[in-house]
């Protein structure tokens, strides 16, 4: 049985200020660094054999302390990135135009094939992440794997595993530095838990 731990990056400046991140980036806040440190104690009794991360800076910064504590090389991968919102990456939500809001409504309603300009559709994000964890499972069968990625990416992946339609309303939240435990058994992924990691 393969165990896979999906981890969302810690809180960033853009999270705090209310900016879209997507493929853009911003540094971890003090809370984000505390959340990254808390992951070390969370995984204290959980053996890990592999550690993969999105190549975006906020994911790498969150993963680095845990990778060091576990003495594992951190392997970065663009397939684990967040959705691309194209020109909205790095934009303040409070400055959205009516046209921007219309585009976001169409995107998050999962209108078939809809993307913001040259960004990604929700289905593309879901397929990208699902293909990657399946590849990791084949490459590292019966091992424990940590995967540092992003909020919407995790939501789309869990929807796939639970067979929830892409356009269904979100029924759960994935907070900064939360850990989602998946296991692969009898030919399928199973969601074991979603646990919040609060910085104290």
Segments making up each domain of the chain, as ranges: 2-195
User: Are 103 and 116 contacting, i.e. CB atoms less than 8 angstroms apart?
Assistant: yes
| Residues 142-169: tens digit of each pLDDT | 999 999 999 999 999 999 999 999 888 8
User: Are 192 and 182 contacting, i.e. CB atoms less than 8 angstroms apart?
Assistant: yes
SS3 99: helix
Q: Look at strands 179-185 and 144-149 and give their pairing.
A: unpaired
Question: What is the predicted pLDDT for the residue at 173?
Answer: 85
Q: Which two tokens stand for residue 17?
A: 């200020």
Distance, in Å, from the CA atom of 7 to the CA atom of 178, rounded to the nearest integer, reads 6
Distance, in Å, from the CA atom of 148 to the CA atom of 53, rounded to the nearest integer, reads 4
| Residues 16-43: tens digit of each pLDDT | 999 999 999 999 999 999 999 999 999 9
Question: What is the predicted pLDDT for the residue at 111?
Answer: 75
What is the fold, at CATH topology level, of the domain defined by 2-195?
Answer: Rossmann fold (3.40.50)
Distance, in Å, from the CA atom of 65 to the CA atom of 71, rounded to the nearest integer, reads 10
The pTM is what? Answer: 0.95
| Residues 90-144: tens digit of each pLDDT | 999 999 999 999 999 999 887 778 999 999 999 999 999 999 999 999 999 999 9
| Residues 60-95: tens digit of each pLDDT | 999 999 999 999 999 999 999 999 999 999 999 999
């Amino acid at each position: 049985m393969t165990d896979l731990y999906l981890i969302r990056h810690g809180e960033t400046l853009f999270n705090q200020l209310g900016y879209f991140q997507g493929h853009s980036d911003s540094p971890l806040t003090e809370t984000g660094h505390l959340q990254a440190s808390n992951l070390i104690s969370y995984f204290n009794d959980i053996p890990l054999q592999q550690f993969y991360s999105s190549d975006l800076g906020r994911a790498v910064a969150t993963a680095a302390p845990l990778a060091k504590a576990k003495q594992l090389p951190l392997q970065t991968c663009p397939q684990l990135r967040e959705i691309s919102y194209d020109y909205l990456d790095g934009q303040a939500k409070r400055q959205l135009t009516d046209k921007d809001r219309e585009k976001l409504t169409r995107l998050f309603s999962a209108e078939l094939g809809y993307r913001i300009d040259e960004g990604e559709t929700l289905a593309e994000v879901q397929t990208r992440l699902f293909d990657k964890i399946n590849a990791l499972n084949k490459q590292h069968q019966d091992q424990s794997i940590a995967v540092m990625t992003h909020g919407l990416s995790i939501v789309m992946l869990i929807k796939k595993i639970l067979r929830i339609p892409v356009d269904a309303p979100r029924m759960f939240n994935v907070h900064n530095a939360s850990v989602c435990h998946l296991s692969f058994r009898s030919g399928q992924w199973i969601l074991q838990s979603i646990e919040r990691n609060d910085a104290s």
